[in-house]
Amino acid sequence: MHIVIVGLSHKTAPVEVRERLAFAPTAMERPLRQLLDLPPLAEGLIVSTCNRVELCAATKEPDSAVAAMRRFLADYHDIALEEIDPHLYDYQGEDAIRHLFRVAASLDSMVLGEPQILGQIKTAYGYAVEFKTAGLILNRFLHKAFSVAKRIRTETGIASNAVSVSFAAVELARKIFDKLDDKGVMIIGAGEMCELAAKHFISNGVTKTLVTNRTFERAEKLAAEFNGRAVPFEQFTDHLAEVDIVLTSTGAPNFILGHRQMEEIIRRRKHKPMFLIDIAVPRDIDPKVNDIDNAYLYDVDDLQEVVQANLKERKKEAGKAEAIVDQEIGQFYQWLANLDVKPTIIALRSHLEKIREQELERTFSNLKDLTDKQKKGIEAMASAMVNKILHKPIAMLKRTQDETSGEDYVDAVRSLFDLPAPSFEDKDIRTLDEPEQ
Amino acid sequence: MIVDVLLFKITLLIYFVATICYLVGVITRKEQFNRSAKWILIGGFVLHCITLKVRWLTTGITPVASLHESLSFFAWSLIGIYLLFDLRYRTPMLGAFISPLALALMILGAAAPKKAPAVNPMLDSWWFPIHVTLAFLGYGVFAIAAMAGIMYLLQERMVKSKKFSGLFYRLPSLDTLDSMNYKCLTFGFPLMTMGIISGAIWANSAWGGYWRWDPKETWALITWFLYAALLHGRLSIGWRGRRAAIFAIIGFCCLLFTFFGVNLFLSGEHTFRSFTGE
């Protein structure tokens, strides 16, 4: 079994492309089922955040799976494959494992070491479990990825100095407003990043908090959490002039704040500066708003620029993290490979043992006047024969299990001896799973 | 006479060292350079005070009678006001912008003839020192407004375009720079207004007329209107930020023209004849 990943991220695709390929986090069942319907795929998982879309699968035919997954990503979003193809990457085997480990450990994040991505992958995995598109391999793979991420977080300084998109937003606000004490913030929509940024702002002195949401109850709930005030979504623009900082992260497909509206709001504020942070993908605020005097609009991509300098320190720590990833890949890849070889060996052995037992029984029933000593001798001979016959093939299987040719031998052995296909419910394989902490 | 020129040259040298220190501090981002630059500047300023006093005692009139003296006085008021500003805002970056400007004025002053002008009986009035002091303090304040404006435009450009250079971390926040603009305006505008009024009163006592549309007076009035427009825009229309910064820069250019241009290109009562050594 192979692990393959097809995806795109902030490193390969601009926000304009990513927002078109994103999967709505509230409706994951359909895409997950469709993904699993692709013939070469045995298990599937979709991670969709504002910075990346990753399709992860377990398959027996990695090349055709990759092709099918690329096609799926285009077809599902009704986009010509040629259009998005240059933005896509794919990984197989060890590279795929490395990729997911790195993503989970935030080594591939826009802000190196930012903590949100792990939660986002956990959520994505939760959906895959809920809709039963993750099986033994992805279960094991994801849990391993989580533990690798956790290990990196505790053993390296990659997450020290809380640098994140949300923190970068606070630093930027300080470059615009100097002090945040007398400033107000409005949170439009809800999202982990948005709430985190709001928390940062509040802990840095912002005193006034307005919250709006299409679902007013959610706005009220969040407002209570932040000691703020909820305003109805329909009238949120009326209250915009009251705040200095806007954090937006709605799932709206179109802009909810346009150029002309913002001009009017800035005028009403007597041109006091406003800092708008659009975390949503697709974006919530018309990018032209940034052209308005005293309005500063940053989208997800822009915030990346800001944190680059702060990331230099973390980059040093990333080296250590990569070493941990390499080490863990080895372990996991070994397990993945064993998954195929071990049951084959077990099946092969039990197949021959069965023959041995049957033949011994038949021989003993024909030769009734054998002494116990003679019986023991014949039994020993049969066992020795089985072991000697098995010795070389098993040694070969074990030796080649880490190589790509290993699967060819497994396949040959299974065909030659007509061994039954391995079941994932196999107890022997189960015991390979370490207990989860 | 020789003593005050020597003192002037030493002051210039100290300002030069302070400027270098500020610039090195900004480039290397080492705090100790900025700190020493400030102390060097303070030292220079104290010496500058002595220089002006010696000059005053030597010539017997307020040392703003020749171009050399005026430039020196301009630089003095600029540094003095910057040091006062620094108490409030503590931004070494502003020093890195102000000290080269003061240095440039000093170098020009060093180039101008240093001979004491023949005592003009007109200058022998109490209104003269009041007029020039108010005017030059206003110049100094507006120079700071203009420098803060340049810094604002630089910083604003980076925040807007989302492309950051090392300067981004060194420059103060937009809000701080904009409030400097406002502070300068609220101090500079009354100073300038009083400078013009005191000048008019002095003119009346000297020539028997408040206003004679001398080129310098005309340009001072144009500059005054520019700053008045900016103050009005700020207070009632809500001008701020970029627009206010640009206005402060234009206003200062206008002011520099009032100071230099009128002397060089136009002629009138304010012209320093001593520029050519006469």
Report DSSP state, residue A4. Answer: E
Token pair 């010696």 is at which residue? B54
Q: Is A25 on the interface with B (CB under 8 A)?
A: no
Structure-token pair, residue A159? 């997450």
Residue B223 sits in the same domain as residue B107: no
What's the rounded Cα separation, in Å, for the pair B91 and B85?
9
B57 has a pLDDT exceeding 90? no
Q: Which of B119, B140, B167 is the last residue of a domain?
A: B119
Contacts of B244 in chain A (CB under 8 A): none
Torsion angles phi and psi, residue A156, rounded to 5: -125, 170
Closest CA to A347 of A418, A432, A425: A418
Structure-token pair, residue A321? 């993290």
Q: Could you tell me which residue, A235 or A415, shows the higher pLDDT?
A: A235
Chosen for mutation from B163, B175, B239 (greatest number of chain A CBs closer than 10 Å) is: B175
Residue B108 sits in the same domain as residue B167: no
Torsion angles phi and psi, residue A7, rounded to 5: -170, -175
Q: What percent of chain B has pLDDT over 70?
A: 89
- pLDDT, tens digit, for every residue of B164-193? 776 777 788 898 899 888 989 999 999 999
Q: Other C-beta atoms within 10 Å of B148: how many?
A: 31
For range B80-93, the mean pLDDT: 86
Contacts of A419 (CB under 8 A, 6+ apart): A344, A347, A348, A351, A413
CB A305 to CB B163 under 8 A? yes
State the maximum Cα–Cα separation within chain A, in Å, rounded to a whole number.
113
A165-307 to CATH, choices 3.30.465.10, 3.90.1170.40, 3.40.50.720, 3.90.1300.10: 3.40.50.720
A91 has a pLDDT exceeding 80? yes
User: Domain range spanning residue B102?
Assistant: 1-119
- pLDDT, tens digit, for every residue of B229-267? 989 988 888 788 888 899 899 999 998 888 877 766 666
Work out the burial of residue A120: count CB atoms within 10 Å of its CB; fewer than 13 is exposed, 13-18 middle, 19 or more buried.
buried
Is the CATH number 3.30.460.30 carried by domain A2-160? yes
Closest CA to A297 of A336, A257, A326: A257
Using N-to-C axis directions, what is the helix angle for A192-203 and A116-130, rounded to 10°?
Answer: 150
pLDDT, mean over chain A: 85
Q: How many domains does chain B have?
A: 2
Reported as a pLDDT band with limits 50, 70 and 90, residue B115 is: confident
For range B34-51, the mean pLDDT: 89
- Confidence at residue B170, expressed as pLDDT on a 0 to 100 scale: 78
Token pair 């084959």 is at which residue? A344
Residue B95 sits in the same domain as residue B134: no
Q: Which of B93, B119, B145 is the last residue of a domain?
A: B119
Q: What is the separation of C-alpha B61 from the centre of its chain, rounded to a whole number of angstroms?
A: 21
Work out the burial of residue A318: count CB atoms within 10 Å of its CB; fewer than 13 is exposed, 13-18 middle, 19 or more buried.
buried
B150 has a pLDDT exceeding 90? yes
Reported as a pLDDT band with limits 50, 70 and 90, residue A430 is: very low
Residue B12 sits in the same domain as residue B38: yes
Q: What percent of chain A has pLDDT over 90?
A: 36
Residue B197 sits in the same domain as residue B115: no
Q: Could you tell me which residue, A162 or B271, shows the higher pLDDT?
A: B271
Residue B99 sits in the same domain as residue B128: no
Residue B180 sits in the same domain as residue B100: no
Residue B113 sits in the same domain as residue B198: no
- Confidence at residue B210, expressed as pLDDT on a 0 to 100 scale: 80
A427 has a pLDDT exceeding 60? no
- Confidence at residue A378, expressed as pLDDT on a 0 to 100 scale: 92
Which range is least confidently modeled, A35-49, A286-300, B112-126? B112-126
- Confidence at residue A52, expressed as pLDDT on a 0 to 100 scale: 93
Torsion angles phi and psi, residue A250, rounded to 5: -100, 170
Residue B184 sits in the same domain as residue B277: yes
Report DSSP state, residue B123. Answer: G
CB A290 to CB B155 under 8 A? no
What's the rounded Cα separation, in Å, for the pair A50 and A248?
13
B103 has a pLDDT exceeding 70? yes
CB B175 to CB A272 under 8 A? no
β-sheet bridge partners, residue A276: A246, A297
CB B174 to CB A306 under 8 A? no
Reported as a pLDDT band with limits 50, 70 and 90, residue B269 is: low
Contacts of B174 in chain A (CB under 8 A): 175-178, 273
Contacts of A294 in chain B (CB under 8 A): 240-242
CATH for B47: 1.20.120
Chain B interface, Cβ < 8 Å to A:
155, 159-160, 162-164, 168-169, 172-176, 237-243
- pLDDT, tens digit, for every residue of A228-271? 888 988 888 888 888 999 999 888 888 988 899 899 999 888 88
CB A273 to CB B241 under 8 A? yes
Q: What is the ipTM of this complex?
A: 0.81
In Å, how far are A38, A45, A54 from A50, measured between CA atoms? 25, 17, 11
Reported as a pLDDT band with limits 50, 70 and 90, residue A12 is: very high
Q: Is A174 on the interface with B (CB under 8 A)?
A: yes
For range A167-177, the mean pLDDT: 85
Residue B37 sits in the same domain as residue B151: no
Helices (H), A49-92: 62-76, 81-84
- Rounded to 5°, angle at Cα A170 from A164 and A171: 90
Identify the closest residue of chain B to A173 by CA–CA distance. B173
For range A176-205, the mean pLDDT: 85
Q: Which residues of A are catalytic?
A: 50
Residue B270 sits in the same domain as residue B214: yes
- Confidence at residue B117, expressed as pLDDT on a 0 to 100 scale: 66
Contacts of A28 (CB under 8 A, 6+ apart): A46, A124, A127, A131
Q: Where are the domains of chain A?
A: 2-160, 165-307, 338-430
What's the rounded Cα separation, in Å, for the pair A28 and A5?
18
Contacts of A273 in chain B (CB under 8 A): 174-175, 240-241
Reported as a pLDDT band with limits 50, 70 and 90, residue A64 is: very high
Q: What is the separation of C-alpha A93 from the centre of its chain, rounded to a whole number of angstroms?
A: 16
Closest CA to A44 of A114, A160, A132: A132
Q: Which of B99, B119, B139 is the last residue of a domain?
A: B119
Closest CA to A208 of A190, A185, A188, A226: A185
Residue B39 sits in the same domain as residue B168: no
Torsion angles phi and psi, residue A310, rounded to 5: -70, -15
Structure-token pair, residue A320? 């250590």
Helices (H), A77-164: 81-84, 93-104, 116-130, 136-155
Same CATH topology for A2-160 and A165-307: the answer is no
